Structure 1
Amino acid sequence: MGPSGSGKTTLARCLVGLHRPAGGEISLEGTRLAPDVRRRTPDQRRAVQLVAQDSMGALNPRETVTAALTRPLRARGLPRTRVPGLVAELLGRVHLPASLADRRPPALSGGERQRVNLARALACAPRVLVCDEVTSALDAEIGEAVLGLLDELRRDLGLGVVLITHDLAAVARSASRVLVVHEGRSWSGAPPRRCCRGRGTTSPACWWSTPRTRASARPRPDHPPPCPAAPVRCQPRVRLRSCQKRE
């Protein structure tokens, strides 16, 4: 999690191999992944799937939902005769009616398009979903439903989910561990439910909830900055009690 412009989307693109990192390495279940998606094996490419923030831009507006879901199914080598049944199964998995299969993205709501994006990622049989701000363009009720769907997929399919967000409520609801990204640096914190029990006066989670008034408020290179008390109207729901810079 982190404020806008902190590098969250760049990190997501690095994980799926669409952006080459300047250093470090990416591994999945002990297997090192090439930084460039073109150098990964087909199984490795399918294993880590990105669900983008812009649900309309991620879908071809000229393609029907069936066409969008058919391509990854066929790429897995599945016979064409099985595709219609699997399309209906995928739509049911993300709680969409089969009647939407013949529609195109402009005829869908924002929540429906995001669920189609999730279904398309699931068509690849992934092990990890990288969800980049998947609820930021949705209203509160629809966003809550999408987060509930992600929890269900994680529980039922055993998926790993990397949820990238700046929404503290979403972190409190869904996250088991937190990595805070801020101004090109990262800190790994304790589980959010444990963090909720303290006042968290040094929480990087609320850096972007409270306006800075002095240049001295910038974080020191070796330690996250203190968090001043936020006004009641924007009091963060989650505060990390303590963090350590990731080496």
Structure 2
Amino acid sequence: MPLNLLHIDASARPGHSGIDPHGSHTRRLSARFVERWRRSRPDDNIDYLDVGLQPPAHVDSRWIHAAFTPPAAREPWMAGVLAESDRLVDQLVAADLIVVGLPMYNFSVPSQFKAWIDNIVRVGRTFGFDRSRGAVPYWPMLAEAGKCAVLLGARGDHGYDAGGRVAHHNHTESSVRSAFEYIGITDVLEAAVESDEFGGEQLELSLRQAQERVDALVDALLHRASAAVGQVPK
């Protein structure tokens, strides 16, 4: 049975490093992942979203008003305000595997990707809320969906991985993990390029290591998928 893969790029750079001048490392890694996946599973469905170059609208007061109004009580204008968010949530709900090219911008995610997060963390769609539940009125609505996410990053400096010299400054993958966990996506894998600002052999070594990590992730997830029906199992 075919799986649904959602491929998201969040870099403001339009090209791929190694091919295009000033191209994106994260686009290079996410494209590598998807190309290898497609070669092994050509019948899977791949949906592409480029929030780096075509970002979703940021949440505003009208969006908040509409999203937190119960569906049965919404006014006609609210459907239009939430239309883009509904489309993005539908994409996410349909996906078995989410692959994100996610660069670090100033120690966290690009604002374009944060806009996507704000649009898909939706009450009544991806998380529930009920005051009658007492002290913990929230619950994740995608927890039983068996989704897996892969975050493919790039950083200018080095030492941002766990235990590294500047790991405490890395709020990129951790913030996405928190948002995904909140809606029920807890199976999150990572690979990242570092040392972009150093260039030379230091960057080339990091690129090789990141690409090897991407290949290993693809192989591991393909192995999972071969034993699954309709989802990437944990």
The bucket for the TM-score relative to the shorter chain is 0.3 to 0.5
Give TM-score scaled by structure 2 length: 0.38
Q: Which has the higher contact order (CA 8 A, sep 6+)?
A: 2
TM-score normalised over the length of structure 1: 0.36
Larger radius of gyration: 1
